[in-house]
C-alpha cells in the first residue's frame, strides 16, 4: 500500500483523505504539508478497550490515532456527539471539525409492501418482526436485546426477533438464546449481504438499535428509515441525532433490557406511536440520500484544499 500510495502522491493536486488511522500511518511521513481530511469513524482505542483488548494494545492504537489526527487539516464526524468526543479525547480543535451524517443510496429506498418483502425473504407473514442489524460485539447491546425479547414474548406471544450480523459474540449469544428458551423467538441469521439488507428492513415492523456505548451515528437507522421502517434506539452517542426532526418517540428513555422490552411492547401494541412508513421514507430522502449528503462532503474537501 505504501509503494502504491507514494506513486500516487507525486500528483500534488490530489487531496489525502483518511478513513482509518492504521491505514494512514504508513504514508504519514511523506505527506509534508499536504492537506488531509480525516473521516473520524470512531475511537479505535476506546472501542478495543471495551472489547477486552490488552492495555498495551489500547495504548498503541491510541498512539497511532494521535499521530494521524495531529496531522489532519479538517475532520468529518457523523454526529455532534462524536465531534465532542474527537475534541475531548484527541484534542482536535472544534473549528477543524465538520459534522455530516452518513448517506444511503437510492437502492435503500424499498417501496414494495411489507408482506411481499417477507414472502421474498421466506419470513413469516403472521408474526410481528423486530430486526436488529449489528456487528456481534459487546458495545452493541445485543445481550440486552435478547433479554428484552424474553420479556416481550410473554406479552406478544408470536413476536420474532431477527438479529443479523457476524462477530466474536455469535456463539455466546446463541447460548444465551438457548439457555433462555428463546429459540423460537430470537434468530441469529448471520451475515446479511447489502443486496438483501434493504428488503430485510422493509420486511420488519420495527428496527431496534440497542447500543450501550460509543455509537457515533448508526447507519442502520438511516437505512431502515429509507426502507420505510421505523426505529427504536437507545439514547447513546449520536443515535438520538439520527431521528431529530422525525419523532422523539423513536428514542428510548434509557439503556437496558427493560427499556427495550417496554418500548417494543408499546410499539407493537400501538400505544407508542412511531412514524409512518411514508414519514420515515420522506425523512430519510431529505436528510440521508447521497445526493443530499455527498455535496456536503465535497465542500469540506474543497475547503481543505484552499
| % of the chain residues with pLDDT over 70 | 100
CA–centroid distance for 69 within its chain: 22
Question: What is the per-residue pLDDT across 4-42, written as a single tens digit (0 to 9) for each?
Answer: 888 888 888 899 999 999 999 999 999 988 999 999 999
**Amino acid 1: pLDDT:** 84
Q: Tell me how far CA of residue 302 lies from CA of 75, 79, 83, 289, 294, in angstroms.
A: 13, 21, 20, 21, 12
Read off the pLDDT of residues 170-227 as tens digits, 9 standing for 90 and up. Answer: 999 999 999 999 999 999 999 999 999 999 999 999 999 999 999 999 999 999 999 9
Do the Cβ atoms of 18 and 36 come closer than 8 Å? Answer: yes
Q: Are residues 94 and 157 in the same domain?
A: no
The two most distant CA atoms of the chain are separated, in Å, by 65
pLDDT at res. 32: 83
What's the CATH number where 229 sits?
Answer: 3.40.50.2000
Confidence (pLDDT) at 284: 97
Angstrom distance (rounded) from CA 231 to CA 242: 10
**Which of 264, 282, 23 shows the shortest CA–CA distance to 149?**
264
- On whether both 68 and 37 belong to a single domain, the answer is yes
Residue 49: the pLDDT is 96
Shared domain for 219 and 78, answered yes or no, is no
Secondary structure (3-state) at 139: helix
- Mean pLDDT, the chain, whole residue set: 96
Non-local (6+) Cβ contacts of 13 within 8 A are: none
Q: What is the pTM of this model?
A: 0.94
* Total domains, the chain: 2
pLDDT tens-digit series, residues 76-97: 999 999 999 999 999 999 999 9
Task: Specify the higher pLDDT residue, 11 or 148.
Answer: 148
Q: What is d(CA 159, CA 42) in angstroms, rounded to the nearest whole number? A: 34
What's the pLDDT score for residue 271?
Answer: 96
300 and 173, same structural domain?
no
Residues 278 and 145 in one domain: yes
Q: Answer yes or no: is pLDDT of 152 > 90.
A: yes
Joined grid coordinates for residue 38:
480525516
pLDDT tens string 245-290: 999 999 999 999 999 999 999 999 999 999 999 999 999 999 999 9
Taking residues 123-146, report their average pLDDT: 97
User: The C-alpha cell of 60 is what?
Assistant: 498503541
Could you list the residue range(s) of the whole structural domain that residue 219 is in?
106-287
39 and 93 both lie in a single domain: yes
Alpha carbon distance 91, 302 (integer Å): 24
How sure is the predictor about 75, in pLDDT bands with cuts at 50, 70 and 90? Answer: very high
pLDDT of residue 13: 86
Task: Clarify whether residues 131 and 84 are in a common domain.
Answer: no
Same domain, 266 and 299: no
Looking at residue 84, what is its pLDDT? 98
Q: Which pLDDT tens digit goes with each residue over 282-306?
A: 999 999 999 999 999 999 999 999 9
129 near 160, Cβ under 8 Å?
yes
Q: Which residues contact 95 (CB under 8 A, 6 or more apart)?
A: none
- What's the confidence (pLDDT) of residue 40? 98
CA distances from 225 to 104, 187, 193, 262 (A): 10, 22, 18, 21
Residues 156 and 249 in one domain: yes
Q: Are residues 270 and 301 in the same domain?
A: no
Task: Supply the angle between the helices 290-305 and 277-287 in degrees, to the nearest 10.
Answer: 20
Residues 40 and 163 in one domain: no
Say if residue 250 is in the same domain as residue 296.
no
At residue 17, the 3 state secondary structure works out as strand
Q: What is the pLDDT of residue 81?
A: 97
Amino acid at each position: 500500500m505504501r509503494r502504491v500510495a507514494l506513486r500516487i502522491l507525486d500528483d500534488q493536486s490530489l487531496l489525502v483523505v483518511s478513513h482509518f488511522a492504521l491505514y494512514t500511518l504508513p504514508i504519514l511521513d511523506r505527506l509534508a504539508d499536504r492537506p488531509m481530511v480525516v473521516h473520524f469513524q470512531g475511537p479505535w482505542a476506546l472501542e478495543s478497550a471495551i472489547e477486552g483488548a490488552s492495555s498495551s494494545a489500547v495504548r498503541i492504537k491510541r498512539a497511532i490515532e494521535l499521530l494521524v489526527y495531529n496531522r489532519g487539516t479538517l475532520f468529518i464526524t457523523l454526529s455532534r456527539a462524536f465531534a465532542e468526543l474527537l475534541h475531548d479525547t484527541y484534542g482536535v480543535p472544534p473549528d477543524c471539525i465538520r459534522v455530516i451524517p452518513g448517506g444511503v443510496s437510492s437502492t435503500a429506498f424499498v417501496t414494495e409492501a411489507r408482506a411481499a418483502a417477507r414472502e421474498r425473504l421466506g419470513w413469516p407473514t403472521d408474526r410481528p418482526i423486530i430486526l436488529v442489524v449489528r456487528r456481534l460485539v459487546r458495545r452493541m447491546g445485543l445481550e440486552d436485546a435478547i433479554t428484552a425479547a424474553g420479556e416481550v414474548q410473554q406479552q406478544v406471544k408470536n413476536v420474532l426477533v431477527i438479529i443479523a450480523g457476524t462477530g466474536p459474540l455469535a456463539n455466546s449469544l446463541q447460548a444465551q438464546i438457548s439457555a433462555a428458551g428463546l429459540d423460537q423467538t430470537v434468530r441469529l441469521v448471520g451475515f446479511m449481504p447489502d443486496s438483501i439488507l434493504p428488503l430485510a428492513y422493509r420486511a420488519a415492523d420495527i428496527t431496534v438499535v440497542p447500543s450501550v456505548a460509543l455509537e457515533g451515528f448508526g447507519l442502520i437507522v438511516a437505512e431502515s428509515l429509507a426502507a420505510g421502517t421505523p426505529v427504536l434506539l437507545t439514547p447513546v452517542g449520536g443515535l438520538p441525532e439520527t431521528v431529530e426532526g422525525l419523532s422523539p418517540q423513536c428514542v428510548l428513555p434509557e439503556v437496558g433490557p427493560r427499556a427495550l422490552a417496554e418500548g417494543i411492547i408499546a410499539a407493537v401494541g400501538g400505544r407508542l406511536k412511531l412514524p409512518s412508513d411514508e414519514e420515515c421514507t420522506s425523512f430519510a430522502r431529505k436528510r440521508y440520500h447521497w445526493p443530499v449528503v455527498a455535496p456536503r462532503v465535497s465542500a469540506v474537501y474543497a475547503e481543505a484544499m484552499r
